[in-house]
């Protein structure tokens, strides 16, 4: 069996307005992990989440390298992990999905197993609970994850290369059409959700103003990223004015945060 393994997995933004538990976009922020089997388990964590995540067997990377293989493949003796993470934790940017995908890939590599992306999706689903972020982390690009009969089917679309995601960290069919036709005019209405987002706006009172500010500054559309509290705007130009407008709107609610400008990640998990 291999004595060590490495993996690199992108962040993702799910829902993207009305695509609740269905849509996700892979983003150019990554979780990178080096792992080896060791009788003395250890985790060295650098970057986002260093002061937040448990550095024990309860860590999601460790659980994902062990639990999905229970009952059909021998457990690993222990794991020594070296983690470099750029994905904010608990901010609606797919940090848990990235960890699950990374853990399963590492677990498979260290056991000498070759498993497909679809199999990783199936193994990760019980840990994540939905397939959207998992799909984007695995396949990259803009993914549609359809849950049916207890399984997940994924359709991947290429993301228009000029479009950038401007992310403040702190209508379904139209989304598909907007991507496939690269129609800028469709993006705003495609991100206009009336189902889950209004309820979540009560938890994030800055949401509506940050979305409005982004659109007024030239964004094609904006929405809550995943379950929040990040807000993602899509722009094919005016990146800086959009970022500045989102920051100003958040500060008006006494919310501090950071803004990142990201390309879509064309490729999913690797290593």
Residues 149 and 170 in one domain: no
Residues 11 and 72 in one domain: yes
| CA-to-CA dists, residue 141 to 151, 152, 156, angstroms | 21, 17, 7
Residues 43 and 100 in one domain: yes
Strands 151-157 and 79-85: unpaired
pLDDT value at position 174? 52
Residues 142 and 221 in one domain: no
- The residue from 157, 189, 224 where one domain ends is 157
Please report whether residue 269 resides in a domain: no
Do the beta carbons of residue 99 and residue 31 sit within 8 Å?
yes
Residue 78, domain extent: 4-157
Number of domains in the chain: 2
Please report whether residue 15 resides in a domain: yes
- The residue from 130, 157, 184 where one domain ends is 157
pLDDT along the chain (271 residues), means of 10: 88 88 95 95 95 94 97 93 96 96 97 95 94 96 89 92 92 56 70 63 82 95 87 92 95 89 96 87
- The residue from 157, 177, 196 where one domain ends is 157
pLDDT value at position 21? 83
Q: CATH number of the domain that 208 lies in?
A: 3.30.70.890
pTM above 0.85, yes or no: yes
Burial 185-223 (b: 16+ CB within 10 A, else e): ebbbebbbbeebbeebbeebebbebbbebbbebbbbbbb
pLDDT value at position 172? 47
Report d(CA 89, CA 28) in Å as an integer. Answer: 15
């Amino acid at each position: 069996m291999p004595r060590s393994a490495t993996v690199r997995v992108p962040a993702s933004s799910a829902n993207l307005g009305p695509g609740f538990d269905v849509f996700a976009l892979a983003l150019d922020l990554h979780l990178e992990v080096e792992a080896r089997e060791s009788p003395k388990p250890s985790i060295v964590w650098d970057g986002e989440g260093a002061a937040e995540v448990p550095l024990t067997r309860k860590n999601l990377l460790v659980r994902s390298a062990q639990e999905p293989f229970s009952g059909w493949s021998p457990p690993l003796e222990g794991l020594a992990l070296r983690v470099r993470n750029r994905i904010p934790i608990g901010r609606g940017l797919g940090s848990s999905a990235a960890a699950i995908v990374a853990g399963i890939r590492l677990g498979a590599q260290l056991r000498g197993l070759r498993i497909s992306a679809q199999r990783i999706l199936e193994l990760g689903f019980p840990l994540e609970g939905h397939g959207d972020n998992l799909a984007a982390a695995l396949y990259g690009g803009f993914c549609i994850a359809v849950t049916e009969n207890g399984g997940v089917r994924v359709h991947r679309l290429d993301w228009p290369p000029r479009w950038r995601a401007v992310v403040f960290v702190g209508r379904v069919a139209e989304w598909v059409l907007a991507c496939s036709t690269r129609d800028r005019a469709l993006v705003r209405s495609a991100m206009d959700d009336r189902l889950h987002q209004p309820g979540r706006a009560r938890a994030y009172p800055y949401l509506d103003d940050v979305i409005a500010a982004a659109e007024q500054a030239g964004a094609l559309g904006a929405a809550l990223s995943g379950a929040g509290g990040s807000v993602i705007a899509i722009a094919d130009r005016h990146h800086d004015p959009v970022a500045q407008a989102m920051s100003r709107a958040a500060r008006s609610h006494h919310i501090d945060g950071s803004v990142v400008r990201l390309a879509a990640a064309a490729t999913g998990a690797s290593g």
